[in-house]
A and B are shown apart, each in its own frame.
Chain A
């Protein structure tokens, strides 16, 4: 079960800068009732299940397997979940979230297994090796390059010591405890440094984006005035 904790501003960190999304708080969802409706073949119940889980399942599958055949995989996952509920395989309806997670994980594992088998059993008819181009499209590449440059700006704008802390954590993936002890930092100082860097990245990014929008607008205006 999820650990629900009461508000305590000193010990609890709320995810910062989250966009407002219209969702019912998870703690208010009646899972047993939803499962009951699916068991009774209620189409609205199934729709509700799909609406609640589709984004999450999509994100999970996309992070693990990439975007290829993503819609098919999501469809398969929901079929498995709904059939299992109808068969009565879900004995604890309040554990629906955990059940869906298990099904999605199995889907990922089975997909990877399938790929491995295919690689072992199939032989390419055409001679030579086909190497896929792993690069992103030019637009995404440009966007990424801009973000990296913003991040470099942020890193160059902070002190050498702060920069070293971030490099140790994000690049070298040293544990927080080790960094704090070696750099004489408290846990709060460490957390503050990280969140400030992230906020700075966000604010510079927004500024550059709004400046670009203005430039684009003025370019469009000058182009249209030329006609």
Chain B
């Protein structure tokens, strides 16, 4: 074993000397050098100190059962394959983005509007559900309402704040309105007369 390089003991020699693992000859040579080299004396003292503390810490950790974390297993698996971990992690992130992020963003405002017909019915009607972040083509039933040439349609959120207002012309027995993409939560679609009288209200669940 090479014990001296560039006029100093190698780090391996200092470590082995500190741990008492040098052969007799190597130990003689290392000790002779240590008697006169202050730099290696300092390195030896540091190594002694390091060994005391790593042993103590290792002892404590070894006595604690540790959970087998998923990340540890992935990292160990990658190292076992002798592959640089960061490109692999980047690739895994890209795959995760393909699986989770891209389908989630499919409900974008650029997609074709979803069709929804809102009608009145007797009894407790179930609320209509639409997807969030996507335009809605609404068909609002006017059966039983006072007849006007046009109506005002307003969509309010669960706090009563108007998120959309438009004037719509009657088309047969219904109003056709293209509403913008709505956020998740309960919304109300209201039909007003030209004199701002509330004529009808529909509950709309956006999910």
The interface bits of chain B over 43-59 (1 if a CB of A lies within 8 angstroms of the residue's CB, else 0) are 11110111111111111
Which residues of B, 57-100, contact A by the 8 Å Cβ criterion?
Answer: 57-62, 66, 68-69, 72, 75-76, 79-80
Residues of B within 8 A of A7 (CB): 5-6
Give chain A residues whose Cβ lies under 8 Å from the Cβ of B32. 2, 97-98, 101
Q: Report yes or no: A170 in contact with B54, Cβ–Cβ below 8 A.
A: yes
Distance in angstroms from A94 CB to nearest chain B CB is 12
- Residues of chain A contacted by B42 (CB below 8 angstroms): 18-19, 21
Residue in A23, A104, A150, A184 with the greatest tally of chain B CB atoms within 10 Å: A23
Distance in angstroms between the alpha carbons of A147 and B48 in the assembled complex:
13
Task: Give the bracket for the number of chain A residues in contact with chain B.
Answer: 35 or more
Binary per-residue interface labels of chain B (10-23) against chain A in the complex, 1 for a CB within 8 Å, 0 otherwise: 11101100010000
Given contacts A151-B54, A198-B50, contact A26 B61 (CB under 8 A): no
| B82 CB → nearest A CB, Å | 10
Closest to B38 in A: A21
Q: Which residues of B contact A201 (CB under 8 A)?
A: 50, 53-54
Residues of A contacting B: mostly: helix
Q: Is B57 a contact of A148 with CB atoms below 8 Å?
A: yes
Please determine whether A12 and B6 come into contact, CB atoms closer than 8 angstroms: yes
Are B12 and A191 in contact (CB-based, < 8 A)?
A: yes
- Chain A interfacial positions (CB closer than 8 Å to B): 1-5, 7-8, 11-21, 23, 25-27, 29, 52-53, 55-57, 59-60, 63, 97-98, 100-101, 104, 144, 147-152, 154-156, 159-161, 163, 166-167, 170-171, 173, 184, 191, 194-195, 197-198, 201
Q: Name B's A-contacting residues (CB within 8 A).
A: 2-12, 14-15, 19, 28-29, 31-46, 48-62, 66, 68-69, 72, 75-76, 79-80
